[in-house]
Structure 1
Amino acid sequence: MFGLTPLGTVHTAISLVALAAGVIALFRYREIPPSAALGQTYIWATVLTCLTGFGIFQHGGFGAPHALGIITLIVLAIAAVAGRTQVFGRASRYVETLAYSTTLFFHMIPGLTETFTRLPTGAPLFSSPEDPALQKAVGVCFLLLVIGCVLQVRRLRAGHPVWNARRSHQ
């Protein structure tokens, strides 16, 4: 279906779970909290998305999507370390929050590329990964990331309570 291999189909399904969990968490909590069920779902589905992506070679060998998977795993690890330690000092909370948000943006790059170079069937929205219109769409997502990160920093600086799994969300 849509030119996907069986692994590609599983990879896509997992990535959609991650994407949904991340977006819902951002709207509900204004961040992706790793202590919440949605945050855990997002993190583990993102890890699985990266790992299953390493086995997909639609365009030859190791390429930019694989590099993005490695970068995503590194950023997830940085977020986890920031959340569990004070290795970044007072900035740890900011690093954690912004890193998880950044990984959601990373989902959008292959998501837009793979979806809209295939759909609608027979007349895809974008002709290739290099299509200027696709680059603009990724640019809009990046702009949304920057705006979201600014809002998250402002919220953290204002001293709004951090979401905690032991209390109800705000």
Structure 2
Amino acid sequence: MLGLTSLGFIHTLLGLVALVAGALCFFADGAIASRSRAGRVFIWTTALTCLTGFGIFQRGGFNIAHVLGILTLVVLSVAIWAERSALLGRLSAYVATVGFSLTYFFHWIPGTTETFTRFPRGAPLFSSPEDPALQQTVGAMFLLFVIGAAVQVWRLRARRSVPTGQAA
């Protein structure tokens, strides 16, 4: 099964569902939020992807991928809390929006690494997780995240500055 264990297959499937759900959120609403069905699917499958990832040790013992899983769960929890709490006031929407987007970006790091250190079969695009070309690719994806997060923050600010009763 493409070099995947049963757990690896389930983990990969959950991750793909999360990526599709996140993309649907971005295209439909411009952001991931738990108020939409796709947003809830993204949140749950992201959490399950992280949890199933803790049982995968194909690259040795506990490693950077496991740390990324922990970081993803922390950021996801903060984003959910910010979305549902008024404690941060007007900042809540920004923290939630950027947090959910950051977890979407986090999906792409192991997804790109695992996919392109295995494919195309026999001549993978990247030689290892340490391949400089892979690191540049992740850097480019981070730049896209920063641009996307800035656009989302700009849209939130624009919505807040529209007087009551007018459309944004």
Distance in 1 (CA, whole Å) between partners of 2:107 and 2:146 is: 15
- Bigger relative contact order (CA 8 A; separation at least 6): 1
Tell me the residue number matched to 1:28.
28
Cα drift, residue 89 of structure 1: 2.4
Return the letter of the residue paired with 1:39: G
Tell me the residue number matched to 2:16.
16
Cα drift, residue 150 of structure 1: 0.6
Return the letter of the residue paired with 2:136: K
Tell me the residue number matched to 2:165.
none
Tell me the residue number matched to 2:151.
151
Return the letter of the residue paired with 1:102: L
Cα drift, residue 143 of structure 1: 0.5
Tell me if 1:100 matches 2:67.
no
CA RMSD of aligned residues (A): 1.4
Tell me if 1:90 matches 2:93.
no
Distance in 1 (CA, whole Å) between partners of 2:94 and 2:76 is: 14
Deviations 1:27-85 (A, max 9, x none): 11110021100000000000000000000001111110000000000001000110111
Distance in 2 (CA, whole Å) between partners of 1:87 and 1:109 is: 31
Unmatched 5+ residue regions in structure 2? 162-167
Cα drift, residue 86 of structure 1: 1.7
Unmatched 5+ residue regions in structure 1? 162-169
Moved more, 102-111 or 24-33: 24-33
Distance in 2 (CA, whole Å) between partners of 1:127 and 1:21 is: 30
Deviations 1:80-138 (A, max 9, x none): 11011122222011000000000000000000000000011111110000011111110
Cα drift, residue 24 of structure 1: 1.7
Distance in 1 (CA, whole Å) between partners of 2:152 and 2:106 is: 18
Tell me the residue number matched to 1:127.
127
Distance in 1 (CA, whole Å) between partners of 2:6 and 2:160 is: 45
Tell me the residue number matched to 2:113.
113
Tell me the residue number matched to 1:42.
42
